[in-house]
């Protein structure tokens, strides 16, 4: 099956323009799939039956795979077998009558506005690294972009005249997001005062640079977020995506419409954005319980 999978992944990359992160997830899922069936002596995808797929999914569930991950596995397998059908490599797909796993979506972790202000105040502006960290955190909260989108920003990504950020999202889709005055000023100060010192003698178009003048990694920025969360003495577990969740939640709390938030987040389906309306309702209930005399 390895040859067919390699051809399918090449098809996704070249013809479908699938995002690199999605492609890598599918690669891992499909390699686990062929390893499982190789041990059972099945190396021809056309010989894998529906019952085999069900047994494989049960095996994954027993290993503790979450419902969201199960859905991704099924999406990878559906796409793979659909490709094989298209190429006439198989006569039928074993996944025709297998439903996606039921996903009970857990509400994402968010920070309150007060907690967000606390963490944003931690870097300060005393050093080159502090000004850079402050600019990254402010921009992340102001725009709700993903950490992968943040570290891939270029110097040309910001339109200074109108205060908008041009973001390259999943699947190579571009979107425009307002920056806001606080993040605008913070990033401008970083570019004027800190970035030239980080750049040193390098020649880079990346907006945010590490101490060696190179592009940030996801892991490097994750460590920065965790460090400032601890410094702020926050009891919650905070990671870069917490900023994205908080961005959406705070916008909706402030009266923003769901469609606008969807566009800024870059969600293809508004049902993905709707989870944040549940956060808002839960917070309203909590406020009512805490402050109403009969709450």
Higher pLDDT, 290 or 8: 8
pLDDT for the residue 103:
44
- Choice between 18 and 157, residue whose per-residue pLDDT is larger: 157
* Higher-pLDDT residue of 110, 137: 137
Task: Tell me the C-alpha to C-alpha distance, in Å, between residue 243 and each of 75, 147, 184, 267.
Answer: 28, 9, 17, 16
Nearest to 128 by CA among 210, 243, 184: 210
The Cβ of residue 250 has, within 10 Å, a number of other Cβ atoms equal to 20
Calculate mean pLDDT across residues 171-180: 89
**Per-residue confidence (pLDDT) for residue 210, from 0 to 100:** 93
Helix-then-strand count for the chain, H and E: 14, 3
* Residue 105 confidence (pLDDT) above 50: no
Look at the alpha carbons of 82, 86, 87, 90 in this order and tell me if their dihedral is positive or negative. Answer: positive
| Nearest by Cα to 155 from 189, 220, 204, 200 | 204
Active-site positions read: 146, 170, 241, 244, 267, 276
Percentage of residues in the chain having pLDDT higher than 70 = 91
Q: State the span(s) of the chain assigned CATH 1.10.443.10.
A: 113-291
Average pLDDT of 140-152? 94
**Class for domain 113-291, per CATH?**
mainly alpha
Comma-separated ranges of CATH 1.10.150.130 domains in the chain = 2-86
pLDDT for 215-266, tens place per residue?
988 899 999 999 999 999 998 889 998 999 999 999 988 888 888 988 999 8
Strands 158-159 and 174-178: unpaired
Average pLDDT over residues 127-147: 96
Given strand 164-168, what is the order of strands in its sheet?
Answer: 158-159, 164-168, 174-178
- Give the domain 2-86 fold: DNA polymerase; domain 1 (1.10.150)
pLDDT score at 275: 75
Give the pLDDT band of residue 147 (cuts 50, 70, 90): very high
């Amino acid at each position: 099956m390895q040859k067919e999978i390699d051809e399918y992944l090449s098809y996704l990359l070249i013809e479908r323009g699938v995002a690199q992160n999605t492609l890598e997830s599918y690669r891992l899922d499909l390699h686990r799939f062929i390893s499982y069936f190789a041990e059972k002596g099945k190396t021809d995808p056309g010989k894998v039956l529906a019952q085999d797929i069900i047994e494989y999914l049960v095996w994954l569930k027993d290993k503790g795979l979450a419902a969201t991950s199960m859905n991704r596995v099924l999406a990878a397998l559906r796409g793979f077998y659909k490709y094989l059908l298209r190429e006439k490599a198989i006569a039928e797909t074993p996944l025709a009558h297998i439903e996606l796993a039921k996903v009970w979506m857990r509400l994402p972790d968010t920070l309150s506005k007060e907690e967000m202000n606390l963490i944003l105040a931690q870097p300060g502006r005393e050093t080159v690294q502090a000004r850079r960290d402050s600019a990254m955190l402010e921009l992340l909260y102001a725009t709700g972009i993903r950490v992968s989108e943040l570290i891939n920003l270029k110097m040309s990504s910001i339109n200074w005249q109108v205060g908008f950020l041009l973001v390259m999202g999943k699947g190579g889709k571009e979107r425009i997001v307002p920056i806001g005055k606080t993040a605008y000023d913070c990033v401008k100060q970083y570019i004027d005062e800190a970035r030239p010192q980080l750049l040193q003698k390098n020649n880079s178009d990346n907006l945010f640079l590490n101490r060696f003048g190179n592009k940030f990694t996801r892991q490097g920025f994750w460590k920065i977020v965790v460090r400032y969360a601890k410094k702020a003495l926050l009891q919650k577990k905070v990671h870069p995506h917490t900023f994205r969740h908080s961005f959406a939640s705070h916008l909706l709390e402030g009266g923003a419409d769901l469609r606008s938030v969807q566009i800024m987040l870059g969600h293809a389906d508004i049902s993905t954005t709707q989870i944040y309306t549940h956060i808002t309702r839960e917070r309203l209930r909590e406020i009512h319980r805490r402050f109403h005399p009969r709450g």
